[in-house]
Amino acid sequence: MGRKKLEIKPIENKSSRQVTFSKRRNGLIEKARQLSVLCDASVALLVVSASGKLYSFSSGVKGIRVSCQSMNICSKLEESNVDNVSVGSLVQLEEHLENALSVTRARKTELMLKLVENLKEKEKLLEEENHVLASQMEKSNLVRAEADYMEVSPGQISDINLPASGVKLFQIYAAWDSSSGGCGIGGIFSGNNLKRIPNLSEPRSHVSSALMAEAIAVRLAVVTSVYSNVRSLAVLTDSLSLVSLPKKEATQPELFGIMFDIYHALSYFDRISFHFISRTFNGEADLVAKSALTLLSVNSSVGG
């Protein structure tokens, strides 16, 4: 005769219920231990009796700390009637809760401090990265500026004026006579253009300085190019100070009106640049400018 299957339902007899609890609890703990050994598994088991007693088993589980006494008190508090809980038990529970709260707060503070440290490290790395990028940009700008201010040689002029680029060149020079205040402006236009712009050769009187004379020449070159429908232009001048002004959109008091005209004309171009060229490589414009100055001197002598 086979073993009779036990019906699963609450055991009414208190003594029988306690005996069954003890036997099955021990069997359950043994099964948990076997499972841990056979399967190399981490097992944690908590059993609370009807009277509120706590039984536990753990194998391979780290960081689990269970206070049987606290669990026992908590199980009593969960009951509908807490009148039987003693003052001592409540005080003890309060102490446990305060300890747990202190541990939680300490852990929270520790994690927050670590987070702050990590953020500070990231901020430091970002600042260093920004510093490196700023240095690279500054070096790049200096290199670009130095390249713009470098003396342009005939070979480099040919590179700027490549047919594929569509850039037209205007080499200008202003010859100024400090004794008379007169100047001659010379400009040589070059580039692949169906309508060639004639060379500039224009005398001017009552010019206050050599820089003023060069600024007048630059303005004349830019305005002439605008009226000739030139969209891409490279202006070459031997005045390093004047070359730097359009790049910074700066001006000087004596050049205010002239630079205003130049800045206003820049918007008409698709591309425009200003380069420094030595007089050594600007001989043709120099010759035209001096010829204009000589003509001004001759006319002044004749008029006088």
Please, which contacts does 262-269 make with residues 24 or more away whose CB atoms are closer than 8 Å? 262/215, 262/218, 262/219, 262/222, 265/219, 265/222, 265/223, 265/226, 266/222, 268/226, 269/225, 269/226, 269/230, 269/231, 269/232, 269/233
Regarding beta strands 182-190 and 168-177, do their DSSP bridges make them parallel or antiparallel, or are they unpaired? antiparallel
Query: Across-strand partners of 188?
Result: 171
Answer yes or no: pTM beyond 0.85. no
Q: Give the tokens for residue 34.
A: 């076997």
Assess contact for 237 and 277: CB atoms under 8 A: yes
In this predicted structure, the answer to whether residue 124 has a pLDDT above a threshold of 80 is: yes
- Give the per-residue pLDDT at 194: 44
In this predicted structure, the answer to whether residue 65 has a pLDDT above a threshold of 60 is: no
Q: Give the tokens for residue 148.
A: 């713009």
- Give the per-residue pLDDT at 95: 81
Q: What are phi and psi of 176, to 5 degrees?
A: -115, 135
- Give the per-residue pLDDT at 272: 84
What's the whole-number mean pLDDT along residues 244-271?
78
* CA dihedral (186, 144, 245, 164) positive or negative: positive
In this predicted structure, the answer to whether residue 66 has a pLDDT above a threshold of 50 is: no
